[in-house]
Structure 1
Amino acid sequence: MALVSQSTGENPVPATTGSPVPAGTQLQVGGEQRQLRNDEKAAALLLALGPDYGKPIFDELDELEIRQLSRAMSRLGPITQEMLDDLMIEFVTTVSSNGSLSGNTDSTERLLLSFLPQERVDAIMEEIRGPAGRNMWEKLSNVQADVLAAYLKNEYPQTIAVVLSKIATEHASKVLAVLPEELAMDVVQRMLGLDPVQKEILEKIEMTLRTEFMSTLNHTKRRDSHEQMAEIFNAFDRQTEARFITSLEEINRDDAERIKQLMFTFEDLARLDMPAIQTLLSRLDKRDLALALKGASDAVKEFFFQNMSSRAAKLLQDDMTDMGPVRLKDVDEAQTRMVATAKDLAAKGEIVILKTKSDDQMIA
């Protein structure tokens, strides 16, 4: 069973049989020494065996074991010579090899196709290749609520009830809220009386969602790219933001202006109304506030002072004076934390921040 890597570049061959290692097994020289877990040991061994020798073992495994083993294969990565030696010694008695083994999604899929039907392999690999290996219900929990609701509203209420019972509770509430009211109430009643769903029915629903919805999701309405980029720019420090905006203005001024309109910056805090700024001030760290205002414009400073009591404003000014010179980096970080706090309050519904700068009013 020892695997020998030929210096001529030809396919490695099992030393005892003389037949080539199957194409599904990918051998490379190198790798980093590490301790293998039990599932990784099984994955490495079966990859080394290949489809001809591995099929009888796979035939004895159930669906869950095959999925677990396939996932381990796809994430195995490089296996050093010493690791491969130790692995083979554990299962047999001796081994002699100069190669190393690497498991990836392609080699896993080729091996599975040698003894499983295409449909079953597709289902296994789709789960492995999905974001962080998430299953169908976890993926649906990350689909925009309005997009998922637009698809589900054309389904039977019982089907909608099953889907909403399987996805994350918080996301189910968002989807339910945007469904037509009469349909939503029908779904609520069905969810209240929902019995355990038969495995065959659940698998059929999953397959339908996979083929009719998830596969075409890329063609549905996507989030506005300018809005997404504005959030990225918001996370920049001041110098980086200015550099990117300036460069973008030279390339496409319209894009730059659109992003600037969508960005919510530290200066925009001065556009909050009195109840909103009072809520924000009650949640801020006093040192962060003093540090942030050290680098603020006179207008922004005055705005904050006017929304505080005379005593509080005087104490804050004294704190700012006592700080002396401060690093611009520290000021930027403090201002970023203040903006983040405002956004968190908005997300919790405690204040409302309108999306664009063309809207002059922000409501608490």
Structure 2
Amino acid sequence: MSDDNEQQGGSKQQRKLSRVEQAAVLLMSLGEADAAQILKHMGPKEVQRVGVAMSNMTDVSKGEVQSSLDEFVDAVGTQTGLGVGNDDYIRGVLTQALGDDKASSLIDRIIVGGNTTGLDTLKWMEPRAVADMIRHEHPQIQAIVVSYLDPDQSAEILNVLDDKVRLDVVMRVASLESIQPQALQELNDILEKQFSGGAGTQTSRIGGVKRAADIMNFMDRGVEGSLMDSIKDQNPDLATTIEDLMFVFDNLKDVDDRGIQSLLREVSSDVLVVALKGADEEVKDKIFRNMSKRAGELLADDLEAKGPVKVSEVESAQKDIITIARRMAEAGEITLGGAGEEMM
């Protein structure tokens, strides 16, 4: 037992930080002005993830700092950024990570010179606040907003809308293929009157069945099941198409071995243990086959020691992993197999 403890202790000191943790280490190694310049070029979800990682970083060794800096130098030539805006949400995340004084200074530097469109500003808002904003708008406006935002945020927005509204919006998202740039600009202008943003970006390609499937992937399982039943009642063919395009946790068994290995490097062991508590045997076998013998033994021990886990916790952990998988797929780092692969 003592040997195992020593081995585990040693592995903890020599832990391999995830990319998000490495980014957090890098930002915390910089001054506020330089960190702010970097955060300016990151999207809302990226800032959220890095902010949370910063708040959780403890006992970072010199070796981990050096390793993070070395990997940054190697990768910096391939990185790109996205323009961002500002919202109370990022203020809360960075305040938790850095404290009131440092966060306030950092946020001010991020906000200066911001050029966020009305629709982009919604990406920084809590989903419930967005839902309250669009609750009394025409369903087509609601569908455009939901199509424009990231699928996980859109799913949370739909979760708090009434059943009938939710069904109407998803049906419209699925049938929405394009929108006139002028109409999108007008919607931007309306929102910018409330948010004081910059000039709107013209976008014509939006929505579609794949977008509807992406959004439903992130919805609470009970809500998603009820919504799918309603869609089947109105349009069975559309429901079948959406189901075919949805990528769920069990589809990980269709990802190639190299993709699984890359994914595992980005997923924390705690999240993986909880997610596997509710996974089918094929997925578990896939995971274990792509781990070293020692890592697999540790995972098996953790699964046995974990005991019963709430279904809601399992679903949340599985969604976290699917979110990482989708992000890596969009970056071209892995290929998601299974349903909807041709469309992706």
Shorter chain as denominator, the TM-score bin is 0.3 to 0.5
TM (normalized to structure 2)?
0.41
Q: Higher relative CO (CA 8 A, sep ≥ 6), structure 1 or 2?
A: 2
Select the structure of larger CA radius of gyration.
1
Structure with the largest fraction of helix? 2
TM (normalized to structure 1)?
0.39
